[in-house]
Amino acid sequence: MAKRFWLLALAVGAGCASLEKRLATEPDVLQGTVKFYTEDFGDPGCVVAVADANGVKYSDETRAHDLFRIASLGKLMYYPVVTGCGVELSTKVEEAAPMALPPEWDRWTLDDLLHNRTGLPREFHDALFVFKAVNCGAFGTHIYGDYDTPEAFVERLWEARYRRMAAEGGECYSNMGFGLLGMCLEHVTGRSSEELLKAYLVEPYGLLDTTFEPESHPEMLARLTPCLAGGLPWDTRRGRPVPENRLGPALRATGGMFSSAADMAKVFNSDALWRLIDETERSLKASEGGVAGLLRVHYLQDGTPVYYRHGMIYGGSSFVAFEPDRRRVTIVLRNATNWPDRGAYAIVEELRRRDGACE
């Protein structure tokens, strides 16, 4: 198992240079990216979108409305809901939570949850966490299964190590924190995440393919991509079906969203998201790969910062990069499970290289 895992890690690392080489020889960056992931990398399906002030370009317009599991990119899609639903982000978390929290939470606000400042870790770790992550649903379980109800989630917060983290605070990208934020919004508004999504994102932005519950929308369900293996589960051949494990109500907001390249391009290239990017850039103190609010930062070869987010969930891998100076967004969606692919930055580098060639 260990040997197979490290071979996988080396293969993913090697893919970065391969993507650069593939794009250097392809006349179309978007098509070249799809060819890399489907032909060179071995994924079953991929769609790429690039949005700027001139509109949106797709690698394949016939797939622009296919539904993908967008995982952590859902946090960015949910951002307009968080900021627009009328709940004051200065509200204390302990006041908004659906049940009693440890006393250490009396210092933290919903805004602190949104910007990853509470000290909560990325995940609640236990002895089986790595095993569950590597096997990624192959046995009908998932890494959050032990605490994907509000009651089980809050029970974990009362454990000594997580009380200590809340007492100390600190900036740390946290799936747990955003899950708690989602539960707080539901509790304060009395509306489900799906209802909030519809009222403050889907309807205002005119979206056609964005939901937490595709089974409630037959017209969307027909466009849902299959849940397939990529680099994970490690013991399942690429392209084979894997069990789909929906996140429970405690963590739905953190990564349970489904959307399409068309809907994501519309939201990510909106004024609301560019305000988030501008705020992030003004307060940026992050080093390479560091947390910058809901995003991370990558510095291009010329030193220009790009803000990005990866996502991974059973049957889906996603990536988005924001270029503030170009006001351009690049989105990559795949219907397979893979570790975050740092090589996706090569798309941004190649787009900028071609920008320079045209100037």
Q: Please name each of the domains of the chain with its CATH number.
A: 2-358 (3.40.710.10)
Per-residue pLDDT of 71-129, as tens digits, reads 999 999 999 999 999 999 999 999 999 999 999 999 999 999 999 999 999 998 776 77
The Cα–Cα gap between 31 and 347 comes to: 11
CB contact set of 12 (below 8 Å; sequence gap of 6+): 231, 338, 339, 341, 343
pLDDT over 70 percentage in the chain:
90
Instruction: Give the global pTM.
Output: 0.91
Contact criterion met (CB below 8 Å) for 260 and 274? no
Cα separations in angstroms, 306 against 289, 300, 349 = 10, 7, 10
The Cα–Cα gap between 349 and 1 comes to: 35
Name the pLDDT band for 168 (thresholds 50, 70, 90): very high
Name which residue leads in pLDDT, 142 or 47.
Answer: 47
Per-residue pLDDT of 200-238, as tens digits, reads 999 999 999 999 999 999 999 999 999 999 988 888 888
- Buried b vs exposed e over 296-313: b needs ≥16 C-beta within 10 Å? bbbeeeeeebbbbbbbbb
pLDDT for res 141 = 67
In 3D, which of 144, 83, 80, 113 has the Cα closest to residue 312?
144
pLDDT for res 232 = 86
Residue 328 CA, distance from chain mean position? 18
Asked if the model's pLDDT at residue 3 lies above 60, the reply is no
Name which residue leads in pLDDT, 282 or 14.
Answer: 282
Contacts 24+ apart (CB under 8 A), 278-284: 278/324, 280/307, 281/305, 281/307, 281/324
Token pair of 67, please?
């539904």
Name which residue leads in pLDDT, 133 or 187.
Answer: 187
In 3D, which of 14, 59, 58, 16 has the Cα closest to residue 34?
59
pLDDT for res 18 = 82
| Arithmetic mean of pLDDT over the chain | 89
Per-residue pLDDT of 236-292, as tens digits, reads 888 999 888 788 899 999 999 999 999 999 999 999 999 989 887 777 666 655 666
Classify burial at 21, counting beta carbons within 10 Å of its beta carbon; exposed 0-12, middle 13-18, buried 19 or more: middle
pLDDT for res 339 = 85
Name which residue leads in pLDDT, 41 or 261.
Answer: 261
Calculate mean pLDDT across residues 134-156: 81
**Residue type present at position 118:** T
pLDDT for res 233 = 86
**Residue type present at position 209:** D
C-beta atoms surrounding 170 within 10 Å: 11
Phi, psi of 346 (to 5 degrees): -60, -30
Token pair of 77, please?
């899609």
Q: How many residues would you count in the chain? A: 359
pLDDT for res 215 = 93
Q: Which of 104-108, 161-165, 172-176 has the lowest mean pLDDT?
A: 172-176
